[in-house]
Amino acid sequence: MDNKALTEQLLDFIGSRSRPYAEVIDAWRTSCPRLPIWEDAVGDGLIELVPGERLADATVRLTAKGQAFRGEHGE
């Protein structure tokens, strides 16, 4: 599976609603430097972290660019 397919899966996982940061990072954390899907999605402006009072209260959501990417690749 290439990174594009994994990026699509991450964006589909988050979907059209915000998800708790802990849930997303638990499902998508990796220690493999060849598959930095989370980091790439943040760096490419596809997802954003919405701060909460504490990190545990933060949420992750798609940006407009992430929504467009998802729409282009068969939401």
User: Which residue bears the tokens 């990174």?
Assistant: 3
User: Which residue bears the tokens 């467009």?
Assistant: 68
pLDDT in tens, 5-28: 888 999 999 988 889 988 888 887
pLDDT at residue 46 in the model: 95
What CATH number is attached to the domain comprising 24? 1.10.10.10
Please tell me the total count of domains within the chain: 1
pTM of the model: 0.81
Q: Give, as one character, the DSSP assignment of residue 33.
A: T
Domain, as residue range, for 58: 3-72
